């Protein structure tokens, strides 16, 4: 558990800078930011579990090896394989946690996070828009209104500059505008009545105007908080039912279909990798005599890095269509299983483990 908490703390700490910026510059309440951290924890746990499982077993057997207890057990006729049950039990617990997190916790966290961001956006629209003051309640969308009623979200004599498009800058001048929220779609609609849209190319080579009676300006989650746009719902954050339904509706070609299928199969393959990581820790800890805890942590991180490189590489191969996603998602587990067999054979021969082997492998890959 300590290893898991350390990984969760490290990964969460990397997210604190953009979250702190939201408190300081955007006026988001501290309680809301803490809820964002809570909702992002399932993703962090899913990322940290393989490394935590490996490190926990490595450090435990490294301690036994360092205190010569492994030698004492072998002298009593206890083989390395008879020492496996505690590691297998811990790995099975990790497999169960990873399965539950992938199937239930990640979809819940993603949906809750998106709902919270949308609530923050609605409050920002009400709090940021002031009468006769230029304001930017949404990224790259500047408002100026002559009169504003927060209760009805009704604006009079509206001037809006929309800079979200990389090619064209839009300026909207309207007699009246009103803000509507669509929580189910995670979209905020600004409805304008009787006005003109001025469109100017960013390179200033062309300009045109359009008169309208009604016009709707759509603002989605990616426009609300740019730094958190990556939190939009991805295939890997959907439940199994959602993934299955989406696959049945999609055409059997295209990147989206492949990513959805990868996400579905990873619901099963990643928990297996957590289990295998724990088993690999047994021969690693036994062979690393005299390396100390720092050596165990370092080797665990290197093994996790190699696994993560295999995971990222297999995803890219599956998305390219070179190999079927059903096969690619199991490639990292094949690597772990092969490593497990190799290390157990070395441990059976009582060969010591040299971390330089892994370092040389990383250097060759780089």
Tell me, yes or no, whether 97 lies in a domain. yes
Whether residues 240 and 300 fall in one domain:
yes
Tell me, yes or no, whether 133 lies in a domain. no
Among 200, 224, 248, identify where a domain stops: 224
Among 202, 224, 246, identify where a domain stops: 224
Report residue 107's pLDDT band, with 50, 70 and 90 as the boundaries: confident
Tell me, yes or no, whether 135 lies in a domain. no
As a whole number of angstroms, the distance between CA 336 and CA 74 comes to 26
Please name the residues in contact with 358: beta carbons below 8 A apart, sequence gap of 6 or more: 299, 302, 303, 306
pLDDT digits (tens, 9 = 90+) for 209-261: 999 999 999 887 666 555 444 444 567 667 788 888 888 877 676 777 888 88
Tell me, yes or no, whether 162 lies in a domain. yes
Whether residues 113 and 147 fall in one domain:
no
Tell me, yes or no, whether 340 lies in a domain. yes
As a whole number of angstroms, the distance between CA 114 and CA 120 comes to 10
Whether residues 273 and 161 fall in one domain:
no
Q: Which two three-digit tokens encode residue 263? A: 């996400």
Q: What pLDDT is attached to residue 289?
A: 62
Is 364's pLDDT higher than 60? no
Q: What pLDDT is attached to residue 145?
A: 92
Whether residues 241 and 189 fall in one domain:
no
Tell me, yes or no, whether 127 lies in a domain. no
As a whole number of angstroms, the distance between CA 153 and CA 179 comes to 5
Whether residues 243 and 181 fall in one domain:
no
For the sheet with 207-220, list strands across it.
135-138, 141-149, 154-162, 168-182, 187-201, 207-220
Among 206, 224, 242, identify where a domain stops: 224
Whether residues 112 and 210 fall in one domain:
no
State the total domains in the chain.
2
Whether residues 109 and 243 fall in one domain:
yes
Compute the mean pLDDT over every residue in the chain, rounded to the nearest whole number.
79
Domain range spanning residue 181?
A: 140-224
Whether residues 239 and 261 fall in one domain:
yes
Q: What pLDDT is attached to residue 232?
A: 47
pLDDT digits (tens, 9 = 90+) for 263-322: 888 888 989 999 999 898 888 887 776 555 666 677 778 888 888 888 888 888 888 878
Q: What pLDDT is attached to residue 222?
A: 61
Tell me, yes or no, whether 130 lies in a domain. no
pTM of structure: 0.65
- Measured between alpha carbons, how far is residue 193 from residues 141, 155, 171, 215, 320 in Å? 18, 10, 14, 7, 47
DSSP labels, 215-245:
EEEEEEHHHH-GGGGGGS--GGGS-HHHHHH
Query: How would you class 346 by CB atoms within 10 Å of its CB: exposed for 0-12, middle for 13-18, buried for 19 or more?
Result: middle
- Measured between alpha carbons, how far is residue 173 from residues 167, 193, 196, 216 in Å? 20, 10, 5, 13
């Amino acid at each position: 558990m300590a290893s898991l908490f350390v990984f969760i703390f490290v990964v969460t700490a990397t997210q604190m800078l953009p979250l702190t910026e939201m408190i300081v510059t955007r006026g988001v309440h501290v309680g809301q930011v803490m809820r964002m951290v809570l909702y992002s924890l399932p993703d962090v746990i899913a990322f940290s579990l393989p490394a935590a499982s490996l490190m926990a077993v490595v450090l435990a057997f490294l301690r036994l090896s360092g205190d010569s207890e492994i030698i004492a057990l072998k002298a009593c006729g206890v083989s390395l394989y008879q020492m496996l049950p505690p590691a297998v039990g811990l790995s099975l617990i990790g497999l169960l946690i990873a399965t539950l997190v992938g199937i239930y916790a990640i979809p819940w966290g993603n949906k809750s996070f998106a709902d919270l961001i949308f609530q923050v956006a609605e409050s920002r629209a009400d709090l940021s828009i002031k009468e006769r003051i230029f304001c930017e309640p949404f990224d790259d969308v500047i408002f100026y209104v002559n009169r504003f009623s927060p209760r009805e979200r009704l604006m009079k004599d509206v001037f809006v500059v929309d800079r979200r498009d990389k090619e064209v800058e839009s300026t909207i001048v309207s007699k009246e505008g009103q803000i509507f929220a669509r929580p189910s779609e995670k979209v905020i609609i600004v409805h304008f009545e009787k006005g003109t849209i001025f469109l100017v190319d960013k390179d200033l080579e062309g300009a045109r105007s359009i008169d309208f009676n009604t016009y709707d300006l759509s603002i989605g989650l990616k426009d609300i908080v740019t730094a958190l746009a990556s939190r939009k719902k991805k295939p890997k954050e959907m439940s199994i039912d959602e993934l299955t339904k989406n696959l049945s509706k999609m055409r059997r070609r295209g990147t989206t279909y492949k990513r959805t299928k990868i996400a579905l199969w990873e619901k099963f393959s990643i928990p297996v990798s957590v289990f295998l990581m724990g088993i690999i820790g047994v021969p690693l800890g036994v062979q690393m005599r005299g390396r100390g805890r720092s050596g165990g942590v370092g080797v665990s991180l290197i093994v996790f890095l190699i696994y993560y490189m295999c995971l990222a590489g297999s995803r890219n191969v599956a998305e390219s269509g070179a190999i079927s996603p059903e096969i690619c998602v199991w490639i990292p587990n094949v690597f772990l299983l092969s490593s497990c067999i190799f290390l157990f054979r070395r441990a059976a021969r009582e060969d010591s483990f040299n971390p330089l082997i892994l370092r040389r492998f990383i250097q060759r890959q780089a």
